[in-house]
Amino acid sequence: MITRRTFIKQAIAVAGLSALPVPGALAKPHPDYYEPLALLAERIPEEYLNSISSLERWRILQNIACGIKRDRFHRKARNVSDSVPPEMQDIVSDIKGQQNVESPCTIYYGDPHGHSRHSDGMRSANGYYTYAENIGLDFAVLTDHAEILSPAEWLLNQIATDDHYYPGWFVTLQAYEHTNCVDGNYDIYMLTEPYQEIDYNLLYAWFNFFVWRPHEYTNENVMDQPDKVFGHLKLAKKLGIFTDVMAVPHHCSWALAPTNWKYYDPELVFFAEGYSKHGNSIFPSWFEDFFDKMADHLPGCSVLDALNTGKRVGITAATDTHGGMPGSIHRKLKNAPMFNFTGGLTGALIKNDELFDRQSLWNAFKQRNIFGTRVYGLQMSFRVGDREMGSTIYPDSEPTFHIEVFAPEYELIEGLSPMVNYIEVIKNGAIVFKEWHVKDRFHIVRSWTDTDFNDRIDNTYFLRVVGYMGDLGWSSPIFIEKTV
């Protein structure tokens, strides 16, 4: 019989932290190192600890110890700071809570993709969310790699995700990343109630046997293909492990892990992450004025390729931070050839009469009421009538689009200014409306009617906003169905 206190003592000993000079019977390391141990002691039932083998408990201890030591080494080697740059804090504090575009929704900003030290990133899970809160984000999602993340570490991420969930102020979602270097990587989002009663044995069994694939992500013969993963997710939903689930492809055009769109599942895939520190995978390489193309850009895998073949996907942006700094669009990584760009954020349009919580954010994701942006505070409204981006519409005449863009006046650390150079409407993969802006560079209001509308085919429209140093933002599409 092992108690939680004994388990924590063992963890501290394995981590090499027991000699620290702190008062009390139980040695207590630096808070950032002690956090995973304390969380385990507080939340994991003793029945669970005693239901697994001593070998498994030892593996859990090793995982925790390695994470602590790895994080401590990286901080020393790379001089990582927990603080948010004051320049970014000033920008966010001046803009946060302001809305200058007319819309039936309120815009909330977040980073839906990033990693902690539990997989191949840095910082603890608590540190990850604390950074997101300090930088001024409204929501954040921690998506550690499942093939590196152990069941125990995933449980730690779940606990931290619930601990930092404050409805109306800061929203988190349970998530992990499934890696497949042949058919594409997917962030798996799970809708759960905070601190729900969890059957730990069922949870452990599902993650251990259906999700966790240690060291298999480089071997295409053993990697789970997306359709198999989707089947496991649907089964887990039926079992009640979570209320709902979705899968988000990202860096779709990256040759090292491209998205194979033949596995598209409309029951699970509602949008794609089109921009991150990897670069831009929204457009194919032939597209006009294509900025921030990733170094290994693979044809046929972009978000626009998916839209042109009938897939219904929205567009978001994220940092895909591996430094534990969600929302860090103010900086590029040094000596990191796979991460050549600043990354982006996602704007979620939440209906004005809804509380900002997990359910309303989930609804915005699922209904594609979302957009991607490279700059904090960029506001976009792209709608037909009161139907915002992401909507499916059956018009009885030529559709008229209301376009409104507001860009706050500041300059980022990397020199990226939100000043608008031109806007475009892209229909079925082609630019059908383009307008350059000289005077109203920070607040643009336009109305555009598609006079070449053909109601005999399905049509897809989305808005692109371009600045003087590249793209600034992309709306999710409006899907107009054929009516004949």
Task: Enumerate residue ranges in the chain where pLDDT < 70.
Answer: 4-5, 7-49, 52, 55-91, 93-95, 150-152, 194-223, 331-339, 411-417, 438-439, 484
86-480 fold: TIM Barrel (3.20.20)
What pLDDT, on a 0 to 100 scale, did the predictor assign at position 56?
A: 64
CA dist 338 to 283, 293, 322, 329, Å? Answer: 18, 12, 11, 16
Judge residue 239's burial from the number of C-beta atoms within 10 Å of its C-beta, 0-12 exposed, 13-18 middle, 19 or more buried: exposed
The confidence score (pLDDT) of residue 146 equals 81
Nearest 5°: CA angle at 123, between 184 and 156? 75
Of 156, 150, 197, 200, residue with least CA distance to 174: 156
- Alpha-carbon distance of 95 to 79, in angstroms, equals 29
Structural contact between residues 137 and 327, judged by C-beta atoms closer than 8 angstroms: yes
Residue in this structure with the two tokens 């000033």, named with its chain if needed: 90
Question: What pLDDT score was predicted for residue 123?
Answer: 85
The per-residue pLDDT for 210 is 61
Q: 121 and 339 in contact (C-beta within 8 Å)? A: no
**pLDDT reported for residue 408:** 82
Domain limits, the chain: 4-78, 86-480
Q: What are phi and psi for residue 475, nearest 5 degrees?
A: -80, 160
Strand partners, 406: 379, 443
Residues 223, 216 contacting (CB under 8 angstroms)? yes
Q: Where are the alpha helices (DSSP H) in 226-299?
A: 226-238
| The pLDDT value given to residue 11 | 63
> One-letter amino acid identity for 41?
A
- What the block records as the tokens of 86 is 């004051």
- CA 178 to CA 180: how far, in whole Å? 7
Whole-prediction pTM:
0.82
CB 367 within 8 A of CB 84: no
